[in-house]
Structure 1
Amino acid sequence: MIDRRAALTGLSAAILSSCTGEAATTDAAPLKSFLTAPLGVAAMTAEFADPQWQALTATHFDRLTPEWEMKMEYILQSDGSHRFEAPDRLLRQAKLNRQGIFGHALVWYAQDGAYFQNLRSDKARFEAAYRAYVQAVVGRYTGQVDGWDVVNEPILDDGSGLRNCLWRDVLGDYYIDIAYHAAHGADPACPLVLNDYNLEHTPAKRRQFLKLVDDMQKRGVPLHVLGTQTHISAALEPGALKATLRDLAATGLKIHVSEVDVSLKEAAKNAFDFKSYRAQQIRQIEELAEAWLSLPVAQQYGITIWGLRDKDSWYNRSQKGLLADEPLLFDDTGALKPLGQAFVKALR
């Protein structure tokens, strides 16, 4: 349903406009105060220049997730060297505000890079470099992050099996296990996450995701948390979110609702009138909160909202002049929207 690769590939070349003005406030208590687990928000270093963004994220969120700047496309250079300037800056920002930071993501089918492409004909060198990359990135932040998305989006959209990608082409299905063992070796105390999207929109994909989880557990792979991204349409079938969290929780692992936004444009199929979908959007966020509260507290790893204000959403960075989406909890002025208010009320 959602083509995130098209939206994110090449983001390194994008220029994000920074905002100015007085820091906005809301009358509501901090959103993070309504959860016992951390409430996170996606972040980019370009947003640090915006005082409103700084104030709102510091007030309302416990955790930052680098939206792009801890991914391989940023870190890995064509000669195999690594750059860590942006991840380090994100970590400093989080520490400044006494927030955690979540590592996203080590291995993703959509990003590999010239360095690994050049090694694909030599399996032994490729595997050694693959392990070394994971160990180097995790090792740099040992004891400083709340967890890692180790493998991101491994399941085909139709749920028929694992995605084809460079990692699988060279290393086979075992590429997943290699990454988790390498990450665990670099930071044995760090929670390791398997993360994917459309698990609620496509039950067949959820079943395949859970089959992979079961197989990994049987093989003794160090897996501690399941991430369900929850990039959802306002028109998602009622009950789908509850079913998804219930099925994931049945594994006994912790649950990260990892990249939440509720798209009006997806529901409206790019029509120019969202009016009839706003009530559905609110019902979705209410169901999410209710499903979250139904989880055992011991399995509540956290909820992460995929952006602060609507104008910060990845949906709107790819609009190219089309009607802007409104998928997040805060509007462009920094005010808590009815969607955010409904989220708070349901959590209460």
Structure 2
Amino acid sequence: MSLSRRAVLAGGLALSACDHAAHSQTLSAPARLPPLKDVAQFPVGTCVRSDQLADPAFARLVVEQFSQLTPEWEMKMEYIVQDDGAFRFEGPDRIAAFAHQNGLRLFGHTLVWYIHRPKAFEQLDEGRVRFVDAYRNYITAVVGRYRGQAVAWDVVNETIEDDGSGVRDSLWAERLGKEEHIALAYRFAHAADPGVPLFLNDYFLETLPKKRAAFLGLVERLLKAGVPVGGLGTQTHLIADQGPGLIKAAIADLASLGLPIHVSEMDVSIAGARGLLKDPRDLEQTQARLYAEASEAFSLLPARQRFAFTIWGARDSDSWRRKEAADDTPLLFDADGRPKAAAQAWEQGLR
């Protein structure tokens, strides 16, 4: 999630000043459900940080429920690239080792993100050749390190403006060109590991049709130019006031290009919707409906296009959304790792 998007969500969360939990009932949650990975006919993922793996309860829940791991932030430039240009890999190495030890797929996330401006890159002179060499070296080092371990990569993340006007400004766009920096990233990543699909990942593709159209237009241009884009990621960060049908429409649109689809970061914020739907029970029902709609729409894709379905966190207490609202409950499992009504709805959507 970008800082600007967090600021927008924070504004929405200001509507949630009243304490609804103290005087309301919530949806009854199932006492036990079969593991998510056992009922799905595709990989089911979650995101993790390396420090979380030291928590036995967290590690147990992840291994029981999921079949794929995405590093939440430790494969991003902000972690890997140091001010002097050196690379560090301790965090992602721990996650990769945990995935290997427990038979889980590792998904690489993410190589190039518009909000990153590492000092080591900013300090390079304006000479294009030198910048391209550093760009290639970084992508080659990261992808090459996890060759044979990562099953795929988010190569470029969140590149389309929310209004659909085109590719975002960034250090990479400034130095290498708005679309050329994207093409170069895919070509460098493909050279480093030719055997894995390379994804383009973005958010609000469900709720902003103009952004989705621009996203698909970019992919079509890249493919026409021979750029090895191998899949499309839709983050699916939602708020529990969203009407029905938007997720299905977005997934159908994205699938129209024939590429594998990754629901890559799904969560459904309840706190962000309290200003519109006052009854927490209504919010939980809407949350459950959105999870069911997403799993159903994804399940209806051809098998070759169902790359994976990732929930952005295992327990509510692990969610990044807690930074904006400490009582938000956007995930499938509560803070104690118990399945919620949303988890039951997600599983029912598969059927």
Letter in 1 for 2:168: R
Runs of 4+ in 1 over 6 A off after TM superposition: none
Per-residue displacement from partner, 1:77-125 (whole Å, max 9, x unpaired)? 1111100111110001111111011000000001121001111522221
Q: Which amino acid aligns with 1:84?
A: F
2:61 maps to what in 1?
A: 56
CA distance in 1, matches of 2:167, 2:295: 30
Show the 5 A alignment for 1:319-330. Answer: 319=324, 322-330=325-333
Alignment match, 1:96? 101
Paired residue type of 1:306: W
Q: Please identify, of 203-212 and 233-242, the stretch whose mean Cα deviation from structure 2 is larger.
A: 233-242
Q: Please state how far the C-alpha of 1:4 moved relative to its aligned partner.
A: 4.8
Corresponding letter in the other structure for 1:37: F
Aligned counterparts of 2:227 and 2:267: Cα–Cα separation in 1: 30
Greater RCO (Cα-Cα under 8 Å, separation 6 or more): 2
Which residue of the partner structure matches residue 278 of structure 1?
284
In structure 1, stretches of 5+ residues that fail to align are: 9-24
Q: 1:3 to 1:96 in 2, by over 3 A?
A: same
CA distance in 2, matches of 1:4, 1:183: 26
Aligned to 2:14: none
Pair 1:301-2:307 in alignment: yes
The answer as to whether partners of 2:202 and 2:233 remain within 8 angstroms in 1 is yes
Counterpart amino acid of residue 326 in structure 1: T
Paired positions, count:
328
Partner residue, 2:113: 108
Query: How far 1:234 sits from its partner (Å)?
Result: 1.4
Whether 2:180 is the aligned partner of 1:177: answer no
- The CA deviation at 1:48 is 1.1
Q: Is the 8 A contact 2:160 2:168 kept in 1?
A: yes
Contact kept, 8 Å, 2:205 with 2:212, in 1: the verdict is yes
The residue aligned with 2:295 is 289
Q: Is 1:29 matched up with 2:34?
A: yes
**Are positions 1:345 and 2:345 aligned together?**
no
Asked whether 1:121 is paired with 2:165, we answer no
Q: Is the 8 A contact 1:255 1:300 kept in 2?
A: yes
In the aligned structure 1, how far is the partner of 2:230 from the partner of 2:151? 12
> Which is worse superposed, 102-111 or 278-287?
278-287
Any conservation in 1 of the 2:273–2:283 contact (CA below 8 Å)? yes
What is the aligned partner in structure 2 of residue 312 from structure 1? 318
Q: Any gaps of 5 or more consecutive residues in structure 2?
A: 8-29
Q: What is the CA–CA distance in structure 1 between the aligned matches of 2:125 and 2:113, rounded to whole Å?
A: 16
2:85 matched residue in structure 1? 80
1:324 Cα shift?
1.4
TM-score (norm 1): 0.90
8 Å contact 2:313–2:319 — kept in the other structure?
Answer: yes
- Shift of residue 3, structure 1, vs aligned partner: 4.8
* Structure 2 Cα separation of the partners of residues 103 and 276 of structure 1: 36
Alpha-carbon deviation of 1:26? 6.4
Change (3 A) 1:141 1:292: same
Q: Distance in 2 between matches of 1:259 and 1:39?
A: 11
Give yes or no for contact 2:143–2:193 (8 Å, CA) kept in 1. yes
Q: What is the CA distance between 1:7 and its match in structure 2? A: 5.3
2:138 corresponds to which residue?
133
Q: Deviations over 1:273-330 (max 9, x none)?
A: 63332211111111111111111111100000000010100000x13xx451110000
Give the RMSD, CA atoms, in angstroms.
Answer: 1.8
Seen in structure 2, the aligned counterparts of structure 1 residues 270 and 240 have a Cα distance that, compared at 3 Å, is: closer
Q: Distance in 2 between matches of 1:213 and 1:194?
A: 8
**Alpha carbons of 1:206 and 1:309: their partners in 2 closer, same or farther (altered >3 Å)?**
same
- Post-superposition shift, 1:266? 2.1
Paired with 1:216 and 1:324, the residues of 2 have a C-alpha distance of 42
Q: How many Å separate the matches in 2 of 1:165 and 1:282?
A: 37
Cα deviation for residue 49 of structure 1 reads 1.8
Alpha-carbon contact 2:2-2:115 (below 8 Å) kept:
no
CA distance in 2, matches of 1:207, 1:137: 31
Q: How does 1:154-303 map to 2 (within 5 A)?
A: 154-173=159-178, 174-269=180-275, 274-303=280-309
Amino acid at match of 1:290: E
- Matched residue type, 1:198: F
Q: Which amino acid aligns with 2:145?
A: R
CA distance in structure 2 between the partners assigned to 1:329 and 1:182 by the alignment: 36
